[in-house]
Chains A and B, each alone.
Chain A
Amino acid sequence: MSKLHVSTTVNGDAVEYLCDPRETLLDCLRDKLNLTGAKEGCGTGDCGACSVTVDGRLVCSCLMLGAEAEGKQIETVEGIADGDVLHPLQKKMIEYAALQCGICTPGILVAAKSLLEKNPNPTEEETRYWLAGNLCRCTGYDKIIRAVMDTAAELREAS
């Protein structure tokens, strides 16, 4: 099977790759662009470790084909910090010890950033339901939820 040529934008950079029609966006990010921040925890869209945004919409990159990224704007965990300045969510995740092993952290950050962009003042329940697609097996979610809600409060104060 011949490969498909894809031109797309990832974290603001114009990129190109050749992919098999069966390869997912996650495969292409990790194996062709060396952006290994997004993780494959399940390959079935159940764990959210591969979360990215495509044209601003939160998606599981394991459920989208690499070929479908043509002409899109993709944001991954590698694009969350502004140069060497961490995003407030990243700082709070460290401060709250909202990660133990850290494998779910990239997906949680992408999803939480997406939440705060849509809803700057989420309740605990809204935060829990928004992040229900991001599995964490280490923390019991307690510190993650606190970190996200505290970030939201801080961002509201700053704006």
Chain B
Amino acid sequence: MALDDRKSEFTFVGTRPDRPDGLDKVTGRAKFGADMSAPGMLHGAILRSPHAHARIVKIDTSKAEEHKDVKAIVTRADFADVPFKPGLEGEFWNVLENVMAGDKALYDGHAVAAVAATSALAARDALKLIEVEYDVLPHVTDVDKAMAADAPVIREGAADYSVPQGMHPNVVRYHESGHGDVEAGFAEADLVIEDSFVTEATHQGYIEPHACLGALGSDGKGELWCCTQGHWIVQKTCAALLGIETSQLRVTASEIGGGFGGKTTVFIEPVALALSRKANRPVKIVMSRSEVFRATGPTASASMDVKIGMKKDGTITAAQGIFRLQGGAFPGAPGDMTAMCAFAPYDLTNVRQVGYDVMSNRPKQAAYRAPGAPMGAFAVESVLDELCNQLDLDPVDVRLKNAAQEGTKASYGPRYERIGLVETLEAAKAHPHYSAPLEPGQGRGISCGFWFNHGGETSVSLALSEDGSAQVMVGTPDIGGSRASMALMAAEVLGIPYENIRVTIADTASLGYNDVSHGSRVTYASGLATIKAAKHAVEKLCERAAAKWGIPVDAVKWQDGCAVPSGPNAGDFDPMPLADITADMGRTGGPISGHFEATPEGAGVSFGTHIVDAEVDPETGKTSITRYTVIQDAGKAIHPTYVEGQFQGGAAQGIGWALNEEYIYGDDGRLQNSIFLDYRIPVASDLPMIDTVIVEVPNPGHPFGVRGVGETGIVPPLAAIANAVSNAAGVRMKQLPMSPPRILAALKANG
């Protein structure tokens, strides 16, 4: 779309006002998923498979049905389940199979039945009365073992056209891309390093477990309240799974207690609605933490081989990566994303990347902040670090020498528009952190990171009130302060104070379809739509002013919150403030609103560079992060404090992934660490302050230059920390997390 209205001087954008939902959030007043109740409400609970892989022979619910407090029981038979019914193929079928098992339980924690009862305790008690007969099958949870010839088949026929002949049926998607001749490139190199790397699955670890309250009548009309990153996808998916019309289900997004990609799909919502339809009463379901770990969408785990050739001067001559990702018992592991992102920061003549999507007996993976990218960056940036060490080159200089710039042909195909990678590297080199001396036992690591960012379907409405205030309705749940950013952008266009704008996350009945709050898209896409909706309202304000003055509308322009004559020839009128126009709008043509909807395509890609210092205790193997600096291109920071917050949050999650977090499965295929005590995410005493540098290289695809900032921050940490730890310990760490036992083992193996 034409962006002739690009802006670079700002009044409100770039300031740091209090967030509009601040008071609600510090007083306990904000309503999250589990905070809603309804008259006559029942409580639902879900029975889950204790087996990693088992045929479901029989489900006997008769005893549970006799329980006096039980009002409904559902199994797979209660969901729309016609294999070739339009709308229930492909991913909808996968989601149905995931929210309620069909013939087979596919992982430890897979839902097999659910009850609704008059209290949460009664519902949990009733689950014990349901008898399930299983025929236990061989299972596999490791990606390399799942690809081996003797691996049990999770589901025949799940592979798509992309998979080459002869692969195991558990390999369901294949990606290959690149350009040039890697073999010729390796031949030109002075040093070639090839190595293998492993990362374990992690969980987004949002503190709020999934929760919902659903009501569905026999007339096919329903209401649903839930914590989600996108209520339209919830609406569409639930309607498909329950066999009702999409528009008959109204979904309202609660305040969301963290998502990071994990709340971009449904788990309990269709179950609550099915129970409600059967019981004829509203049903609330709240997951326990253990259910969150066992049965929502963790990341893929990965096994990777990377080979890079370099000349003595630091020039990369060729790069190749093979990335194998398992994403649980369904297609979807982002092996393609890993492959496409892995070498994206560099300008390469010869590059080839291959990604595999592999199924195993684990929960269906979901997105987690730049899904797929952190693992690949870990492998690639580790090899680059080793090349720099062996060739005695500065790691920032080498990355600068090979850095992608505007016009570079990306490793995944297209040529880059204006990007800010070089600026982040230059900022890293100039940062005091990079030249600060290290203490004995410490090591320093750096890494670059790349993520695509996304536009997505977006619809925003803005309405002006008689008193000159404005309400903005957006469809992207606020996962990190986006209502503040939207209000700043609307204020910038309308020229009225930030405080006079109220931004609401509209329900599905109030706006057209909005894609999920994912892909770092909210400030970009909902922001762009807010700007355009505000401009739409400004056009109408100018029309009203023109009519009052009796001059043509093209003789009026909008400036600092007022209609003013566009030039000396337009006439001599005092500026007419917005509130003067809205005061009598009912008599001058009716309500004044603005609206915009589109699928904006100019999200622009995003790069960051991280610097980390780590200290390794050789006796215990424990790693401490002693200093951390995040440098990332934000395009234009609308609310810089919340941009910093995204940088810091991504780094902290990356620290957890690098050092401690992992899904641990026993030989029986059961998850062994399904509570926060055993799956330990970083706590306050684990971390240092996290410094941030916001680089601003405007995105040409946004009127104010915005790039998404949410995801890129988790791409560099795994590699940057691995490089710091490897340099501190004197041994290359090739498996994450670098937990104390792994570090001790590596130190021992190294003598």
Contacts and interface: CB of A to CB of B under 8 A. Distances in A.
Given A43-B288, A103-B208, A97 B641 contact: yes
A93 B26 contact: yes
Contact of B121 (A20, A35, A41): A20
B30 A102 contact: yes
A28 interface: no
A46 B207 contact: no
Interface residues of B, number: 59
A137 B676 contact: no
B121 A22 contact: yes
A143 B645 contact: yes
B683 A132 contact: yes
B88 to A, nearest CB: 33
A99 B25 contact: yes
Interface stretch (B16-24, B92-100, B110-118, B149-157): B16-24
Contact of B208 (A39, A86, A93): A39
A139 interface: yes
A47 B18 CA distance: 26
Contact of A94 (B19, B642, B685): B19
Interface string B258-284: 111000000000000000000000000
Contact of A41 (B37, B208, B642, B653): B208
B23 A94 contact: yes
Given A97-B642, A103-B208, A138 B684 contact: no
A43 B652 contact: no
A127 B689 CA distance: 12
Per DSSP, are chain A's interface residues mostly helix, strand or loop, or mixed?
loop
Contacts of B468: none
Nearest to A45: B677
B662 interface: no
Contact of B257 (A30, A101, A125): A101
A81 B27 contact: yes
B676 A101 contact: no
Contact of A95 (B18, B25, B121, B481): B18
A154 B30 CA distance: 27
Nearest to A1: B121
Interface string B19-48: 101110111111110110100000000000
Interface in B283-318: 286, 288-289
Interface in A87-138: 90, 93-97, 99-106, 109, 125, 127-129, 131-138
Contacts of A142: 648, 687, 689-690
A42 B674 CA distance: 10
B497 interface: no
A74 interface: no
A73 B84 CA distance: 60
A31 B19 CA distance: 29
A27 to B, nearest CB: 8
A17 interface: no
A49 interface: yes
A127 to B, nearest CB: 8
B480 A80 contact: no
Contacts of A23: 121
A12 interface: no
A101 B19 CA distance: 11
Given A94-B19, A140-B651, A100 B645 contact: yes
B28 A77 contact: yes
Nearest to B653: A137
A40 B28 contact: no
B27, B288, B686 — most chain A CB neighbours (10 Å): B27
B658 to A, nearest CB: 14
Given A137-B205, A137-B681, A36 B642 contact: no
Contacts of A38: 28
A88 B206 CA distance: 27
Contacts of A20: 119, 121
A93 B119 CA distance: 36
A44 B676 contact: yes
B206 to A, nearest CB: 6
A130 to B, nearest CB: 8
B648 A143 contact: yes
A157 B255 CA distance: 36
Contacts of A53: none
A100 B207 contact: no
A31 to B, nearest CB: 8
A43 B207 CA distance: 11
A131 B205 CA distance: 18
B690 A140 contact: yes
B479 interface: yes
Contacts of B686: 132
A104 B25 CA distance: 9
Contacts of B37: 31
Given A41-B207, A128-B684, A138-B649, A80 B258 contact: no
A145 interface: yes
Interface string B654-677: 000000000000000000000111
Nearest to B22: A94
A97 B207 contact: no
Contact of B26 (A43, A44, A90, A143): A90
Contacts of A150: none
B207 A47 contact: yes
A104 B683 contact: no
B131 to A, nearest CB: 23
A76 interface: yes
B690 A103 contact: no
B355 to A, nearest CB: 28
A42 B289 contact: yes
Contacts of A135: 207, 676, 681, 683
A32 to B, nearest CB: 11
Contacts of A102: 21, 25, 30, 255, 257
Contact of B645 (A47, A105, A129, A139): A139
Interface in B210-224: none
Closest 10 pairs (CB-CB, A-B): A37-B28, A103-B257, A140-B652, A102-B25, A46-B676, A94-B22, A140-B648, A77-B28, A90-B26, A36-B35
Interface of A: 20, 22-23, 27, 30-31, 35-44, 46-47, 49, 76-78, 80-81, 86, 90, 93-97, 99-106, 109, 125, 127-129, 131-146
Interface of B: 16, 18-19, 21-23, 25-32, 34-35, 37, 119-121, 204-209, 255-260, 286, 288-289, 479-481, 641-642, 644-645, 648-649, 651-653, 675-677, 681-687, 689-690
21 contacts: A20-B119, A37-B28, A39-B32, A39-B257, A40-B34, A40-B286, A41-B257, A46-B676, A47-B289, A90-B26, A93-B22, A94-B26, A100-B642, A101-B206, A103-B258, A106-B28, A128-B684, A137-B258, A139-B645, A139-B648, A142-B687
